[in-house]
Structure 1
């Protein structure tokens, strides 16, 4: 027979409370946010590739963040042929149709946990869902009836932003447009347009994660923060060492596992990094712009654990989240490049 001490009941209650708190935090961190379909957008011709209405997810702000808005644009590449665009309409990720969109979790820059997202956790946070295959740039009136394709991405962007303005974003004190990959490119391309929706008194800035394109940046007037790896995994796999440029598959193992890279291959990757750094440094000229260029072998870091974790991805002893927050609130200029790590590494 087990002998119970006088404090057994108190210890049990404390243990249960700790377990409940841990479970609650896990639920809050991983719970999906309801998908909102904008049915009224169809009448304006603002539709996904398959003609279905656009959609977004919205988690309401709280505390001192109720008048601040973060709009994060989902990534997902481009479809550059008719067949590619047709295929998107059937993808379970919903990259061509809101009929197939799953509810996605809010993590990283979208998290409502202060420990993970110290500057934006209590803002109104919006996940702009991507379903047009062109970073919200297409605006073709004619419909491809043979393939039932609608190229209306620009209208989709407008429809979602206008919906958000109608539910409170027009009164924002602070507003941030961000995105990763194709969404990171969209956050650059639409940065000034997004800014124009607000009054002059609203602080508006943009963050592009893994979506850097140098020819566009000089034409954007709104402050932009570039988050990118000098060894972006997607760029390495799909632009630098493609199947066409590497027909013998010498880079195949290297791309999948950095430990398999030869000295010669690492040297080629270092040359890729040098070219990238030269390009980004030539574009980031204004003190209003920011950048966080690390050497993590990764693609998209703002919506993952690397946003506010992983010491190996820090620059100047700051996480990406801290660097972006300081820059947004004008606490200091942050334009840092990882010069400590020459080779790509896992973060």
Structure 2
């Protein structure tokens, strides 16, 4: 697919190549540094910026009262754009992603970035994709109240202060409290009257969406239409190409460090070690609220961090493949197809849920819902001639069945595949 159709995505390529070089030998730092690129809308498609307003950052007014702080103790917050017309009593929330921190060192580093401190966050952002107010870019949700929840706790809004260290590290593990404080504040300014609501999130924000989906349903009116949309949040518990449980060990460190267990599904933690319940495959079938999954079958983040982390490839034979899927040789493609098979198998049970929806495309990309080009545009990825936005709309409003699983790579010519080798 011609790159000129996706000028707004070039910032992924430029920043990620540098971050990859810096961090390729360490999974925990790689997860952190790669995640730094995935949250700023100011780099989105320059050709449409004039039609999207700049939305100011709103610090949580109840943060002090709720003891809800970012990793460094600064105030968390959100960006809010009011709905209009028929969308005045409808809400879409999008939880920002950005990896996790699994150690004192990585969490301390996050304190110096916008993923751990509001002091480094943009004062204003523009809304694109599912948060756009432009009908042609966001046909079903353009006039809704829209909130982007900023991510600064490093634990998918699930950490607890009980596990904070009192030895001078000055790290605040308050993810659960941030979640509760944000919800309380949004409820007080109109969310409590929502007739329709959609909780969404990308990457680590997608995982947070799954963890808190039923909680979100519980705080809203019983007669409201409430659903959850998870973008690139179905992280697989798979061994890497060297046979090591790299991501499992990483998640174990995150859960233990930040006291995440208290936020996880009790029906899961009662039968498994808590860190295993940080993997969506272990609890997604028990979520009662309708869920839609958007996930690329060749998620570059999972390929680079779960399947082939730097530690699993000492000979660096996978480097070119991880940077551009078109550089993969036949044996590497076989491994990637097996990884896709694991994803499809994981979804077997979920696919039987009549209220669930799916858009599993065969693209080498990560988050797709908050970028106009991949959410809904003339050049967007399609399955069964549907864009992601159209499939999500069909599902949310029950217009028609919305379970779309793509054929295997490289079959889909509408895919945009990230190319991290380009300058």
Show structure 1 runs of 5+ residues with no match: 1-22
- Which residues of 2 match residues 1-347 of structure 1 at below 5 A? 26-29=49-52, 31-91=53-113, 94-102=114-122, 103-141=124-162, 143-145=164-166, 146-212=168-234, 213-304=280-371, 305-309=373-377, 311=379, 313-339=381-407, 341=409, 346-347=416-417
Q: Return the offset for 1:285.
A: 2.1
Task: Tell me: CA distance 1:200–1:40, structure 2 relative to 1, closer, same or farther (3 Å).
Answer: closer
Per-residue Cα deviation, 1:281-335 (whole angstroms, up to 9, x for no partner): 2333211011000011000000112001365620111100010011001112211
Partner Cα distance (2:163, 2:374) in 1: 42
Per-residue Cα deviation, 1:57-88 (whole angstroms, up to 9, x for no partner): 00110111111001100000010111111101
Aligned to 2:265: none
- Farther off after superposition, 305-314 or 32-41: 305-314
SS in 2 for 1:126: strand
TM-score, normalised with respect to structure 2: 0.73
Q: Return the offset for 1:341.
A: 4.0
Partner Cα distance (1:259, 1:340) in 2: 14
Q: Return the offset for 1:99.
A: 1.6
RMSD: 1.8
Partner Cα distance (2:151, 2:341) in 1: 32
Partner Cα distance (2:67, 2:351) in 1: 37
Q: Return the offset for 1:343.
A: 6.3
Partner Cα distance (1:260, 1:215) in 2: 33
Q: Return the offset for 1:337.
A: 0.2
> In 2, are the aligned partners of 1:41 and 1:54 still within 8 Å (CA)?
yes
Partner Cα distance (1:137, 1:231) in 2: 27
Show structure 2 runs of 5+ residues with no match: 1-45, 235-279, 418-423
> In 1, are the aligned partners of 2:132 and 2:142 still within 8 Å (CA)?
yes
SS in 1 for 2:137: coil
Per-residue Cα deviation, 1:205-232 (whole angstroms, up to 9, x for no partner): 0000000121120121000000001100
Task: Tell me: CA distance 1:237–1:40, structure 2 relative to 1, closer, same or farther (3 Å).
Answer: same
SS in 1 for 2:309: coil
Aligned to 2:25: none
Per-residue Cα deviation, 1:10-35 (whole angstroms, up to 9, x for no partner): xxxxxxxxxxxxx9964233x43100
Identify which of structures 1 and 2 has the higher relative contact order when contacts are C-alpha pairs closer than 8 Å and 6+ apart. 2
SS in 1 for 2:199: strand
> In 1, are the aligned partners of 2:363 and 2:409 still within 8 Å (CA)?
no
Kindly indicate which of the two structures has a greater share of residues assigned to helix: 2
> In 2, are the aligned partners of 1:266 and 1:343 still within 8 Å (CA)?
no
> In 2, are the aligned partners of 1:170 and 1:198 still within 8 Å (CA)?
yes
How many residues end up aligned between the 2 structures?
322
Per-residue Cα deviation, 1:40-62 (whole angstroms, up to 9, x for no partner): 31122111111112100001101
Task: Tell me: CA distance 1:142–1:182, structure 2 relative to 1, closer, same or farther (3 Å).
Answer: closer
Q: Return the offset for 1:153.
A: 0.4
Per-residue Cα deviation, 1:226-259 (whole angstroms, up to 9, x for no partner): 0001100100001111111111111101111223
- Farther off after superposition, 96-105 or 317-326: 96-105
> In 2, are the aligned partners of 1:42 and 1:52 still within 8 Å (CA)?
no
Q: Return the offset for 1:143.
A: 4.2
> In 2, are the aligned partners of 1:270 and 1:343 still within 8 Å (CA)?
no
Partner Cα distance (2:60, 2:49) in 1: 30
> In 2, are the aligned partners of 1:206 and 1:222 still within 8 Å (CA)?
yes
Q: Return the offset for 1:158.
A: 0.8
